[in-house]
Structure 1
Protein backbone atom coordinates (compact mmCIF):
# COMPACT_ATOMS: atom_id res chain seq x y z
CA UNK A 1 0.00 0.00 0.00
CA UNK A 2 1.08 3.58 -0.59
CA UNK A 3 1.83 6.11 2.10
CA UNK A 4 5.21 5.33 3.65
CA UNK A 5 7.74 8.11 3.93
CA UNK A 6 11.38 7.65 2.81
CA UNK A 7 12.62 7.28 6.39
CA UNK A 8 10.08 4.65 7.33
CA UNK A 9 10.63 0.92 7.00
CA UNK A 10 7.79 -0.65 4.99
CA UNK A 11 6.16 -3.76 6.47
CA UNK A 12 7.43 -7.14 5.36
CA UNK A 13 5.32 -9.62 3.38
CA UNK A 14 4.89 -11.72 6.53
CA UNK A 15 3.61 -8.72 8.50
CA UNK A 16 1.11 -7.91 5.73
CA UNK A 17 -0.01 -11.54 5.52
CA UNK A 18 -0.65 -11.87 9.27
CA UNK A 19 -2.03 -8.35 9.62
CA UNK A 20 -4.53 -8.79 6.77
CA UNK A 21 -5.94 -12.02 8.22
CA UNK A 22 -6.26 -10.56 11.72
CA UNK A 23 -7.79 -7.28 10.48
CA UNK A 24 -10.31 -9.16 8.32
CA UNK A 25 -11.41 -11.24 11.32
CA UNK A 26 -11.99 -8.07 13.35
CA UNK A 27 -14.02 -6.62 10.47
CA UNK A 28 -16.08 -9.81 10.20
CA UNK A 29 -16.88 -9.79 13.92
CA UNK A 30 -18.21 -6.23 13.60
CA UNK A 31 -20.17 -6.59 10.34
CA UNK A 32 -21.29 -10.25 10.24
CA UNK A 33 -25.01 -9.55 10.97
CA UNK A 34 -25.14 -7.30 7.89
CA UNK A 35 -23.62 -10.09 5.79
CA UNK A 36 -26.20 -12.57 7.07
CA UNK A 37 -29.02 -10.15 6.25
CA UNK A 38 -27.57 -9.71 2.76
CA UNK A 39 -27.57 -13.48 2.16
CA UNK A 40 -31.19 -13.84 3.34
CA UNK A 41 -32.31 -11.03 1.02
CA UNK A 42 -30.36 -12.46 -1.92
CA UNK A 43 -31.96 -15.91 -1.68
CA UNK A 44 -35.46 -14.58 -1.02
CA UNK A 45 -37.82 -15.80 -3.73
CA UNK A 46 -35.97 -19.06 -4.30
CA UNK A 47 -38.07 -21.14 -1.90
CA UNK A 48 -41.26 -20.42 -3.83
CA UNK A 49 -39.57 -21.19 -7.15
CA UNK A 50 -38.34 -24.51 -5.74
CA UNK A 51 -41.82 -25.45 -4.58
CA UNK A 52 -41.00 -25.08 -0.90
CA UNK A 53 -42.55 -23.00 1.84
CA UNK A 54 -41.99 -19.28 1.32
CA UNK A 55 -40.64 -18.80 4.86
CA UNK A 56 -40.19 -15.43 6.52
CA UNK A 57 -40.66 -12.32 4.41
CA UNK A 58 -37.72 -9.97 4.70
CA UNK A 59 -37.97 -6.24 4.03
CA UNK A 60 -34.84 -4.12 4.08
CA UNK A 61 -31.62 -4.54 5.99
CA UNK A 62 -32.74 -3.76 9.49
CA UNK A 63 -36.17 -5.28 8.89
CA UNK A 64 -34.46 -8.54 7.95
CA UNK A 65 -32.29 -8.44 11.05
CA UNK A 66 -35.31 -7.66 13.25
CA UNK A 67 -37.31 -10.53 11.71
CA UNK A 68 -34.43 -12.94 12.27
CA UNK A 69 -34.04 -11.89 15.91
CA UNK A 70 -37.80 -12.20 16.50
CA UNK A 71 -38.27 -15.57 14.79
CA UNK A 72 -34.90 -17.25 15.32
CA UNK A 73 -33.19 -15.42 18.16
CA UNK A 74 -30.21 -13.02 18.22
CA UNK A 75 -27.73 -15.84 17.61
CA UNK A 76 -29.09 -16.30 14.08
CA UNK A 77 -27.34 -13.07 13.03
CA UNK A 78 -24.01 -14.81 13.66
CA UNK A 79 -24.89 -18.16 12.11
CA UNK A 80 -21.83 -19.39 10.24
CA UNK A 81 -19.42 -17.07 12.08
CA UNK A 82 -16.90 -19.86 12.74
CA UNK A 83 -16.68 -20.64 9.02
CA UNK A 84 -16.55 -16.91 8.29
CA UNK A 85 -13.52 -16.42 10.54
CA UNK A 86 -11.86 -19.52 9.07
CA UNK A 87 -12.50 -18.01 5.65
CA UNK A 88 -10.93 -14.67 6.53
CA UNK A 89 -7.83 -16.22 8.09
CA UNK A 90 -7.06 -18.03 4.85
CA UNK A 91 -8.78 -15.77 2.34
CA UNK A 92 -7.93 -12.21 3.37
CA UNK A 93 -4.35 -13.16 4.25
CA UNK A 94 -3.80 -14.12 0.61
CA UNK A 95 -5.89 -11.60 -1.33
CA UNK A 96 -4.93 -8.55 0.75
CA UNK A 97 -1.69 -9.58 2.45
CA UNK A 98 0.01 -10.67 -0.78
CA UNK A 99 -1.36 -7.85 -2.97
CA UNK A 100 1.68 -5.58 -2.68
CA UNK A 101 4.11 -8.46 -3.25
CA UNK A 102 2.29 -9.60 -6.39
CA UNK A 103 2.04 -6.00 -7.59
CA UNK A 104 5.84 -5.75 -7.28
CA UNK A 105 6.15 -8.85 -9.47
CA UNK A 106 4.06 -7.27 -12.22
CA UNK A 107 5.94 -3.96 -12.02
CA UNK A 108 9.28 -5.80 -11.87
CA UNK A 109 10.21 -4.04 -8.64
CA UNK A 110 9.30 -0.53 -9.74
CA UNK A 111 7.90 1.78 -7.05
CA UNK A 112 5.46 3.33 -9.51
CA UNK A 113 2.68 0.87 -10.35
CA UNK A 114 0.31 1.62 -13.19
CA UNK A 115 -3.40 0.85 -13.20
CA UNK A 116 -2.86 -2.31 -15.24
CA UNK A 117 -0.36 -3.73 -12.76
CA UNK A 118 -2.69 -3.01 -9.86
CA UNK A 119 -5.64 -4.66 -11.61
CA UNK A 120 -3.58 -7.73 -12.49
CA UNK A 121 -2.35 -8.03 -8.91
CA UNK A 122 -5.91 -7.72 -7.57
CA UNK A 123 -7.22 -10.39 -9.96
CA UNK A 124 -4.32 -12.73 -9.18
CA UNK A 125 -4.56 -12.61 -5.39
CA UNK A 126 -8.37 -12.67 -5.49
CA UNK A 127 -8.46 -15.83 -7.63
CA UNK A 128 -5.71 -17.52 -5.60
CA UNK A 129 -7.54 -16.79 -2.34
CA UNK A 130 -10.79 -18.32 -3.64
CA UNK A 131 -9.03 -21.49 -4.79
CA UNK A 132 -7.66 -21.89 -1.27
CA UNK A 133 -10.62 -20.81 0.88
CA UNK A 134 -13.71 -21.83 -1.16
CA UNK A 135 -14.89 -24.61 1.24
CA UNK A 136 -15.09 -22.13 4.11
CA UNK A 137 -17.20 -19.78 1.95
CA UNK A 138 -19.60 -22.57 0.95
CA UNK A 139 -20.16 -23.55 4.60
CA UNK A 140 -20.56 -19.91 5.69
CA UNK A 141 -23.24 -19.24 3.06
CA UNK A 142 -25.12 -22.47 3.88
CA UNK A 143 -25.27 -21.55 7.58
CA UNK A 144 -26.35 -17.97 6.89
CA UNK A 145 -29.10 -19.12 4.52
CA UNK A 146 -30.55 -21.75 6.86
CA UNK A 147 -33.34 -20.48 9.11
CA UNK A 148 -33.24 -21.73 12.68
CA UNK A 149 -37.00 -22.22 12.68
CA UNK A 150 -36.87 -24.90 9.99
CA UNK A 151 -38.07 -28.31 11.12
CA UNK A 152 -34.80 -29.97 10.18
CA UNK A 153 -31.58 -27.99 10.04
CA UNK A 154 -29.17 -28.92 7.29
CA UNK A 155 -26.09 -28.88 9.52
CA UNK A 156 -25.52 -29.08 13.25
CA UNK A 157 -22.11 -27.45 13.33
CA UNK A 158 -19.19 -26.27 11.20
CA UNK A 159 -17.33 -29.58 11.23
CA UNK A 160 -20.60 -31.43 10.53
CA UNK A 161 -21.20 -29.15 7.55
CA UNK A 162 -17.80 -29.89 6.00
CA UNK A 163 -18.31 -33.62 6.59
CA UNK A 164 -21.91 -33.72 5.35
CA UNK A 165 -21.23 -31.74 2.18
CA UNK A 166 -18.23 -33.95 1.31
CA UNK A 167 -20.29 -37.09 1.97
CA UNK A 168 -23.48 -36.08 0.14
CA UNK A 169 -22.05 -33.99 -2.68
CA UNK A 170 -18.49 -35.26 -2.91
CA UNK A 171 -15.35 -33.27 -2.28
CA UNK A 172 -16.28 -31.16 -5.29
CA UNK A 173 -19.29 -29.96 -3.31
CA UNK A 174 -16.95 -28.03 -1.04
CA UNK A 175 -15.72 -26.13 -4.07
CA UNK A 176 -19.24 -25.52 -5.41
CA UNK A 177 -19.55 -22.10 -7.01
CA UNK A 178 -15.80 -21.65 -7.39
CA UNK A 179 -16.14 -20.13 -10.88
CA UNK A 180 -18.62 -17.36 -9.91
CA UNK A 181 -16.74 -16.83 -6.67
CA UNK A 182 -13.46 -16.35 -8.54
CA UNK A 183 -15.23 -13.89 -10.85
CA UNK A 184 -16.77 -12.08 -7.88
CA UNK A 185 -13.60 -11.89 -5.85
CA UNK A 186 -11.41 -10.88 -8.76
CA UNK A 187 -13.83 -7.98 -9.26
CA UNK A 188 -14.14 -7.21 -5.54
CA UNK A 189 -10.42 -7.46 -4.95
CA UNK A 190 -9.66 -5.09 -7.81
CA UNK A 191 -12.39 -2.67 -6.77
CA UNK A 192 -11.37 -2.73 -3.10
CA UNK A 193 -7.59 -2.74 -3.25
CA UNK A 194 -7.08 -0.70 -6.41
CA UNK A 195 -9.64 1.92 -5.37
CA UNK A 196 -8.15 2.09 -1.87
CA UNK A 197 -4.66 2.42 -3.35
CA UNK A 198 -5.66 5.14 -5.83
CA UNK A 199 -7.82 7.19 -3.43
CA UNK A 200 -5.20 7.06 -0.69
CA UNK A 201 -2.46 7.99 -3.14
CA UNK A 202 -4.50 10.91 -4.50
CA UNK A 203 -5.27 12.22 -1.00
CA UNK A 204 -1.61 12.06 0.02
CA UNK A 205 -0.19 13.54 -3.19
CA UNK A 206 -2.68 16.42 -3.15
CA UNK A 207 -1.84 17.01 0.53
CA UNK A 208 -5.53 17.00 1.43
CA UNK A 209 -4.74 14.47 4.15
CA UNK A 210 -1.77 12.85 5.79
CA UNK A 211 -1.27 9.10 6.17
CA UNK A 212 -3.50 8.74 9.21
CA UNK A 213 -6.89 7.40 10.29
CA UNK A 214 -9.15 9.92 8.43
CA UNK A 215 -7.27 9.21 5.21
CA UNK A 216 -7.62 5.45 5.71
CA UNK A 217 -11.33 5.90 6.49
CA UNK A 218 -12.03 7.94 3.33
CA UNK A 219 -10.11 5.58 1.06
CA UNK A 220 -11.78 2.51 2.60
CA UNK A 221 -15.28 4.00 2.23
CA UNK A 222 -14.68 4.65 -1.48
CA UNK A 223 -13.31 1.14 -1.91
CA UNK A 224 -16.38 -0.40 -0.28
CA UNK A 225 -18.83 1.50 -2.49
CA UNK A 226 -17.01 0.67 -5.74
CA UNK A 227 -16.70 -3.00 -4.77
CA UNK A 228 -20.41 -3.31 -3.96
CA UNK A 229 -21.51 -1.58 -7.15
CA UNK A 230 -19.56 -3.79 -9.54
CA UNK A 231 -19.77 -7.08 -7.65
CA UNK A 232 -23.43 -7.25 -6.60
CA UNK A 233 -24.74 -9.21 -9.64
CA UNK A 234 -22.02 -11.86 -9.38
CA UNK A 235 -22.47 -11.98 -5.60
CA UNK A 236 -26.19 -12.76 -5.93
CA UNK A 237 -25.50 -15.59 -8.37
CA UNK A 238 -22.69 -16.94 -6.19
CA UNK A 239 -24.88 -16.95 -3.08
CA UNK A 240 -27.83 -18.63 -4.78
CA UNK A 241 -25.73 -21.22 -6.56
CA UNK A 242 -23.72 -22.20 -3.47
CA UNK A 243 -26.90 -22.46 -1.38
CA UNK A 244 -28.87 -24.48 -3.96
CA UNK A 245 -29.64 -28.18 -3.53
CA UNK A 246 -27.53 -30.53 -5.71
CA UNK A 247 -28.76 -30.66 -9.31
CA UNK A 248 -31.03 -27.62 -9.08
CA UNK A 249 -28.86 -25.57 -11.41
CA UNK A 250 -26.63 -26.99 -14.11
CA UNK A 251 -24.03 -24.32 -13.42
CA UNK A 252 -23.54 -20.74 -12.34
CA UNK A 253 -24.51 -19.42 -15.79
CA UNK A 254 -27.82 -21.32 -15.69
CA UNK A 255 -28.43 -20.01 -12.20
CA UNK A 256 -27.96 -16.46 -13.51
CA UNK A 257 -30.31 -17.09 -16.47
CA UNK A 258 -32.97 -18.66 -14.23
CA UNK A 259 -32.78 -15.69 -11.88
CA UNK A 260 -33.07 -13.25 -14.79
CA UNK A 261 -36.08 -15.04 -16.34
CA UNK A 262 -37.89 -15.53 -13.03
CA UNK A 263 -37.26 -12.22 -11.28
CA UNK A 264 -35.83 -9.80 -13.83
CA UNK A 265 -32.60 -7.73 -13.83
CA UNK A 266 -33.40 -6.09 -10.48
CA UNK A 267 -32.85 -9.48 -8.79
CA UNK A 268 -29.11 -9.09 -9.35
CA UNK A 269 -29.14 -6.14 -6.98
CA UNK A 270 -31.20 -7.81 -4.28
CA UNK A 271 -29.62 -7.11 -0.95
CA UNK A 272 -27.63 -4.17 -2.36
CA UNK A 273 -28.19 -1.95 0.68
CA UNK A 274 -27.01 -4.55 3.23
CA UNK A 275 -24.23 -5.51 0.83
CA UNK A 276 -23.03 -1.90 0.76
CA UNK A 277 -23.56 -1.37 4.48
CA UNK A 278 -21.64 -4.55 5.12
CA UNK A 279 -18.89 -4.14 2.52
CA UNK A 280 -18.50 -0.42 3.17
CA UNK A 281 -18.27 -0.83 6.93
CA UNK A 282 -16.17 -3.99 6.50
CA UNK A 283 -13.66 -2.10 4.37
CA UNK A 284 -13.49 0.77 6.85
CA UNK A 285 -12.91 -1.52 9.84
CA UNK A 286 -10.54 -3.82 7.95
CA UNK A 287 -8.31 -1.18 6.33
CA UNK A 288 -8.12 1.02 9.43
CA UNK A 289 -7.28 -2.04 11.57
CA UNK A 290 -4.85 -3.34 8.92
CA UNK A 291 -2.93 -0.06 8.75
CA UNK A 292 -2.65 0.10 12.54
CA UNK A 293 -1.64 -3.56 12.84
CA UNK A 294 1.11 -3.15 10.25
CA UNK A 295 2.56 -0.23 12.17
CA UNK A 296 2.24 -2.03 15.52
CA UNK A 297 3.85 -5.22 14.20
CA UNK A 298 6.74 -3.32 12.61
CA UNK A 299 7.23 -1.29 15.80
CA UNK A 300 7.31 -4.50 17.85
CA UNK A 301 9.82 -6.01 15.44
CA UNK A 302 12.01 -2.90 15.58
CA UNK A 303 11.97 -2.92 19.40
CA UNK A 304 13.05 -6.56 19.44
CA UNK A 305 15.92 -5.90 17.04
CA UNK A 306 17.05 -2.63 18.66
CA UNK A 307 20.22 -2.96 20.74
CA UNK A 308 19.99 -2.32 24.49
Structure 2
Protein backbone atom coordinates (compact mmCIF):
# COMPACT_ATOMS: atom_id res chain seq x y z
CA UNK A 1 0.00 0.00 0.00
CA UNK A 2 2.81 2.39 0.88
CA UNK A 3 4.56 1.64 -2.41
CA UNK A 4 1.34 2.15 -4.38
CA UNK A 5 0.67 5.52 -2.74
CA UNK A 6 4.28 6.67 -3.01
CA UNK A 7 4.51 5.54 -6.62
CA UNK A 8 1.26 7.26 -7.56
CA UNK A 9 2.33 10.54 -5.96
CA UNK A 10 5.65 10.35 -7.79
CA UNK A 11 3.94 9.73 -11.14
CA UNK A 12 1.38 12.52 -10.76
CA UNK A 13 4.06 15.05 -9.85
CA UNK A 14 6.61 14.00 -12.45
CA UNK A 15 4.80 13.24 -15.71
CA UNK A 16 3.40 16.67 -16.69
CA UNK A 17 6.92 18.08 -16.25
CA UNK A 18 8.90 15.22 -17.72
CA UNK A 19 6.85 14.25 -20.79
CA UNK A 20 7.86 17.08 -23.20
CA UNK A 21 11.46 16.87 -21.98
CA UNK A 22 11.59 13.11 -22.53
CA UNK A 23 10.04 13.41 -26.00
CA UNK A 24 12.66 15.97 -27.06
CA UNK A 25 15.44 13.86 -25.58
CA UNK A 26 14.28 10.80 -27.51
CA UNK A 27 14.30 12.75 -30.76
CA UNK A 28 17.77 14.09 -29.94
CA UNK A 29 19.09 10.61 -29.22
CA UNK A 30 17.79 9.29 -32.52
CA UNK A 31 18.53 12.13 -34.94
CA UNK A 32 21.36 13.95 -33.11
CA UNK A 33 20.03 17.40 -34.07
CA UNK A 34 20.07 18.92 -30.59
CA UNK A 35 17.56 19.23 -27.77
CA UNK A 36 16.43 22.81 -28.49
CA UNK A 37 15.91 22.08 -32.20
CA UNK A 38 13.84 18.99 -31.45
CA UNK A 39 11.82 20.73 -28.73
CA UNK A 40 10.85 23.49 -31.17
CA UNK A 41 10.11 20.97 -33.90
CA UNK A 42 7.82 18.89 -31.68
CA UNK A 43 6.15 22.06 -30.39
CA UNK A 44 5.48 23.21 -33.97
CA UNK A 45 3.97 19.81 -34.79
CA UNK A 46 1.89 19.77 -31.60
CA UNK A 47 3.63 16.56 -30.54
CA UNK A 48 5.32 17.50 -27.25
CA UNK A 49 2.63 15.74 -25.22
CA UNK A 50 1.89 13.01 -27.75
CA UNK A 51 3.18 10.33 -25.39
CA UNK A 52 1.43 11.68 -22.27
CA UNK A 53 -1.45 9.13 -22.26
CA UNK A 54 1.04 6.27 -22.51
CA UNK A 55 3.26 7.91 -19.89
CA UNK A 56 0.41 8.47 -17.45
CA UNK A 57 -1.05 5.02 -18.08
CA UNK A 58 2.26 3.36 -17.35
CA UNK A 59 3.67 5.74 -14.76
CA UNK A 60 1.74 4.46 -11.75
CA UNK A 61 2.43 0.74 -12.42
CA UNK A 62 6.08 1.57 -13.10
CA UNK A 63 6.44 3.63 -9.95
CA UNK A 64 4.62 1.03 -7.85
CA UNK A 65 6.97 -1.68 -9.14
CA UNK A 66 9.98 0.57 -8.51
CA UNK A 67 9.03 1.55 -4.98
CA UNK A 68 7.88 -1.96 -4.05
CA UNK A 69 11.20 -3.46 -5.11
CA UNK A 70 13.16 -0.59 -3.59
CA UNK A 71 11.31 -0.97 -0.29
CA UNK A 72 11.92 -4.72 -0.36
CA UNK A 73 15.68 -4.25 -0.72
CA UNK A 74 15.77 -1.51 1.90
CA UNK A 75 14.06 -3.87 4.34
CA UNK A 76 16.42 -6.69 3.33
CA UNK A 77 19.81 -4.98 3.24
CA UNK A 78 19.64 -1.72 5.21
CA UNK A 79 20.31 -2.04 8.96
CA UNK A 80 16.97 -2.49 10.71
CA UNK A 81 15.29 -1.73 7.36
CA UNK A 82 16.23 1.94 7.74
CA UNK A 83 17.89 3.65 4.76
CA UNK A 84 19.22 6.43 7.00
CA UNK A 85 21.40 3.84 8.76
CA UNK A 86 22.85 2.37 5.55
CA UNK A 87 26.36 3.29 4.49
CA UNK A 88 27.20 4.43 0.95
CA UNK A 89 28.21 0.97 -0.24
CA UNK A 90 24.99 -0.61 0.98
CA UNK A 91 22.89 2.19 -0.51
CA UNK A 92 24.62 1.74 -3.87
CA UNK A 93 23.99 -2.02 -3.77
CA UNK A 94 20.30 -1.42 -2.97
CA UNK A 95 20.00 0.95 -5.93
CA UNK A 96 21.72 -1.44 -8.33
CA UNK A 97 19.59 -4.39 -7.20
CA UNK A 98 16.42 -2.33 -7.62
CA UNK A 99 17.34 -1.19 -11.12
CA UNK A 100 18.24 -4.69 -12.25
CA UNK A 101 15.15 -6.35 -10.77
CA UNK A 102 12.49 -4.11 -12.31
CA UNK A 103 13.63 -4.33 -15.94
CA UNK A 104 11.53 -7.25 -17.19
CA UNK A 105 8.30 -5.89 -15.71
CA UNK A 106 8.79 -2.26 -16.72
CA UNK A 107 10.30 -2.61 -20.20
CA UNK A 108 7.05 -3.15 -22.20
CA UNK A 109 5.48 -0.06 -20.58
CA UNK A 110 8.50 2.08 -21.37
CA UNK A 111 8.82 0.70 -24.89
CA UNK A 112 5.34 1.86 -25.92
CA UNK A 113 5.95 5.28 -24.35
CA UNK A 114 9.26 5.72 -26.18
CA UNK A 115 7.68 4.75 -29.50
CA UNK A 116 4.85 7.26 -28.93
CA UNK A 117 7.40 10.02 -28.34
CA UNK A 118 8.39 9.92 -32.02
CA UNK A 119 5.68 11.09 -34.44
CA UNK A 120 7.69 9.45 -37.22
CA UNK A 121 6.31 6.06 -36.23
CA UNK A 122 2.84 7.27 -37.27
CA UNK A 123 0.80 5.66 -34.49
CA UNK A 124 -2.60 7.29 -33.99
CA UNK A 125 -2.61 6.58 -30.26
CA UNK A 126 -1.34 4.28 -27.53
CA UNK A 127 -3.70 1.42 -28.39
CA UNK A 128 -2.80 1.68 -32.08
CA UNK A 129 0.89 1.61 -31.12
CA UNK A 130 0.44 -1.58 -29.10
CA UNK A 131 -1.58 -3.27 -31.85
CA UNK A 132 0.73 -2.18 -34.67
CA UNK A 133 3.90 -3.22 -32.83
CA UNK A 134 2.37 -6.61 -32.00
CA UNK A 135 1.16 -7.14 -35.57
CA UNK A 136 4.30 -6.02 -37.40
CA UNK A 137 7.12 -6.84 -34.98
CA UNK A 138 5.72 -9.55 -32.72
CA UNK A 139 5.30 -9.76 -28.96
CA UNK A 140 9.07 -9.97 -28.38
CA UNK A 141 9.40 -6.40 -29.66
CA UNK A 142 8.07 -5.08 -26.36
CA UNK A 143 11.29 -6.28 -24.75
CA UNK A 144 13.65 -4.71 -27.30
CA UNK A 145 16.63 -3.09 -25.61
CA UNK A 146 16.13 -5.08 -22.42
CA UNK A 147 19.84 -5.92 -22.14
CA UNK A 148 20.86 -2.28 -22.47
CA UNK A 149 18.14 -1.23 -20.01
CA UNK A 150 19.27 -3.89 -17.54
CA UNK A 151 22.78 -2.44 -17.43
CA UNK A 152 21.53 1.15 -17.60
CA UNK A 153 19.10 0.66 -14.70
CA UNK A 154 21.65 -1.22 -12.62
CA UNK A 155 24.31 1.46 -13.13
CA UNK A 156 21.91 4.41 -12.98
CA UNK A 157 20.06 3.34 -9.84
CA UNK A 158 23.33 2.47 -8.16
CA UNK A 159 24.58 5.96 -8.95
CA UNK A 160 21.31 7.60 -7.94
CA UNK A 161 20.82 5.86 -4.60
CA UNK A 162 24.52 5.68 -3.78
CA UNK A 163 25.05 9.29 -4.86
CA UNK A 164 22.01 10.31 -2.83
CA UNK A 165 23.43 8.65 0.26
CA UNK A 166 26.94 10.05 -0.09
CA UNK A 167 25.55 13.53 -0.83
CA UNK A 168 23.18 13.42 2.13
CA UNK A 169 26.02 12.56 4.47
CA UNK A 170 28.23 15.25 2.95
CA UNK A 171 25.49 17.86 3.41
CA UNK A 172 24.85 16.74 6.99
CA UNK A 173 28.56 16.91 7.87
CA UNK A 174 29.08 20.28 6.15
CA UNK A 175 27.38 22.16 8.94
CA UNK A 176 24.55 23.46 6.74
CA UNK A 177 21.41 23.92 8.81
CA UNK A 178 18.86 22.39 6.44
CA UNK A 179 15.50 20.87 7.20
CA UNK A 180 15.01 17.22 6.26
CA UNK A 181 12.97 18.02 3.13
CA UNK A 182 15.49 20.32 1.40
CA UNK A 183 18.38 18.09 2.45
CA UNK A 184 16.75 15.00 0.92
CA UNK A 185 15.91 16.90 -2.27
CA UNK A 186 19.45 18.22 -2.67
CA UNK A 187 20.93 14.79 -2.06
CA UNK A 188 18.47 13.20 -4.50
CA UNK A 189 19.37 15.76 -7.18
CA UNK A 190 23.09 15.00 -6.75
CA UNK A 191 22.37 11.30 -7.06
CA UNK A 192 20.46 11.95 -10.27
CA UNK A 193 23.42 13.70 -11.89
CA UNK A 194 25.79 10.88 -10.95
CA UNK A 195 23.42 8.13 -12.07
CA UNK A 196 22.61 9.70 -15.42
CA UNK A 197 26.23 10.34 -16.41
CA UNK A 198 27.65 6.91 -15.63
CA UNK A 199 24.77 5.09 -17.32
CA UNK A 200 24.15 7.24 -20.40
CA UNK A 201 25.98 5.11 -23.01
CA UNK A 202 23.60 2.28 -22.12
CA UNK A 203 20.68 4.70 -22.51
CA UNK A 204 21.85 5.50 -26.04
CA UNK A 205 22.13 1.79 -26.81
CA UNK A 206 18.57 1.36 -25.55
CA UNK A 207 17.34 4.14 -27.86
CA UNK A 208 19.19 2.63 -30.81
CA UNK A 209 17.71 -0.82 -30.26
CA UNK A 210 14.14 0.40 -29.78
CA UNK A 211 14.15 2.83 -32.73
CA UNK A 212 16.16 0.71 -35.19
CA UNK A 213 19.24 2.96 -35.30
CA UNK A 214 22.72 1.41 -35.91
CA UNK A 215 24.41 2.02 -32.55
CA UNK A 216 28.06 1.70 -33.51
CA UNK A 217 27.86 3.39 -36.90
CA UNK A 218 25.43 6.19 -35.99
CA UNK A 219 26.37 6.92 -32.36
CA UNK A 220 29.70 5.51 -31.17
CA UNK A 221 31.68 6.13 -34.36
CA UNK A 222 30.67 9.81 -34.46
CA UNK A 223 32.37 10.59 -31.16
CA UNK A 224 31.48 11.61 -27.61
CA UNK A 225 29.21 14.50 -28.60
CA UNK A 226 26.94 12.12 -30.53
CA UNK A 227 27.14 9.39 -27.91
CA UNK A 228 26.13 11.90 -25.22
CA UNK A 229 23.40 13.57 -27.31
CA UNK A 230 20.59 14.55 -24.98
CA UNK A 231 22.53 13.82 -21.80
CA UNK A 232 22.32 17.31 -20.27
CA UNK A 233 18.51 17.66 -20.49
CA UNK A 234 18.23 14.00 -19.53
CA UNK A 235 20.30 14.66 -16.43
CA UNK A 236 18.10 17.65 -15.62
CA UNK A 237 15.01 15.46 -15.91
CA UNK A 238 16.59 12.78 -13.75
CA UNK A 239 17.52 15.41 -11.17
CA UNK A 240 13.82 16.22 -10.85
CA UNK A 241 12.98 12.51 -10.58
CA UNK A 242 15.73 11.87 -8.02
CA UNK A 243 14.78 14.91 -5.95
CA UNK A 244 11.18 13.67 -5.82
CA UNK A 245 12.39 10.17 -4.96
CA UNK A 246 14.71 11.51 -2.27
CA UNK A 247 11.81 13.41 -0.75
CA UNK A 248 9.39 10.49 -0.89
CA UNK A 249 11.63 7.65 0.38
CA UNK A 250 11.75 8.79 4.06
CA UNK A 251 7.98 9.38 4.18
CA UNK A 252 7.30 6.13 2.37
CA UNK A 253 9.31 4.21 4.94
CA UNK A 254 7.57 5.92 7.87
CA UNK A 255 4.16 5.19 6.38
CA UNK A 256 5.09 1.57 5.71
CA UNK A 257 6.29 1.14 9.31
CA UNK A 258 3.06 2.71 10.56
CA UNK A 259 1.01 0.18 8.59
CA UNK A 260 3.03 -2.69 10.04
CA UNK A 261 2.66 -1.32 13.56
CA UNK A 262 -1.07 -0.96 12.99
CA UNK A 263 -1.32 -4.62 12.08
Normalising to structure 2: TM-score of the pair?
A: 0.84
Cα separation, 2, equivalents of 1:299 and 1:179? 35
* 2:22 alignment counterpart: 35
Cα separation, 1, equivalents of 2:258 and 2:92? 32
Task: Give the count of matched residue pairs.
Answer: 259
Find runs of 4+ consecutive structure 1 residues off by over 6 angstroms.
Answer: 298-302
* 1:69 alignment counterpart: 43
Over 3 Å counting, the alpha-carbon distance change for 1:274 and 1:195 in structure 2 is same
Counting helix residues as a fraction of each chain, which structure ranks higher?
2
Contact 1:203–1:209 (Cα < 8 Å) also in 2: no
Contact 1:27–1:283 (Cα < 8 Å) also in 2: no
Deviates more, 1:190-199 or 1:127-136: 190-199
Cα separation, 1, equivalents of 2:140 and 2:99? 20
Q: What RMSD in Å do the two structures reach over aligned CA positions?
A: 3.0
Shift, 1:96, TM fit? 3.6
Over 3 Å counting, the alpha-carbon distance change for 1:130 and 1:261 in structure 2 is closer
Over 3 Å counting, the alpha-carbon distance change for 1:89 and 1:109 in structure 2 is same
Instruction: Work out whether 1:277 is the aligned partner of 2:245.
Output: no
Matches within 5 A, 1:5-84: 14-44=1-31, 58-59=33-34, 61-70=35-44, 72-73=45-46, 76-84=47-55
Contact 1:123–1:187 (Cα < 8 Å) also in 2: yes
* 1:70-119 deviation digits (Å, cap 9, x = unpaired): 2x02xx11121222233332223233443243133235747543444323
* 2:111 alignment counterpart: 138
Shift, 1:284, TM fit? 2.7
* 1:224-261 deviation digits (Å, cap 9, x = unpaired): 211221122111111121112xxx7xxxxxx4323356
Matches within 5 A, 1:1-308: 14-44=1-31, 58-59=33-34, 61-70=35-44, 72-73=45-46, 76-107=47-78, 109=80, 112-147=85-120, 153-204=121-172, 207-244=175-212, 255-260=214-219, 262-288=221-247, 290=248, 294=252
Give unpaired runs (5+ residues) of structure 2: none
For the pair shown, the structure with the greater C-alpha radius of gyration is 1
Over 3 Å counting, the alpha-carbon distance change for 1:206 and 1:294 in structure 2 is same
Deviates more, 1:222-231 or 1:174-183: 222-231
Over 3 Å counting, the alpha-carbon distance change for 1:33 and 1:92 in structure 2 is same
Give unpaired runs (5+ residues) of structure 1: 1-13, 46-57, 148-152, 249-254
Over 3 Å counting, the alpha-carbon distance change for 1:187 and 1:163 in structure 2 is same
Normalising to structure 1: TM-score of the pair?
A: 0.73
Over 3 Å counting, the alpha-carbon distance change for 1:257 and 1:87 in structure 2 is same
* 1:24-81 deviation digits (Å, cap 9, x = unpaired): 3421221221111111111015xxxxxxxxxxxx44x3343222212x02xx111212
Over 3 Å counting, the alpha-carbon distance change for 1:25 and 1:182 in structure 2 is farther
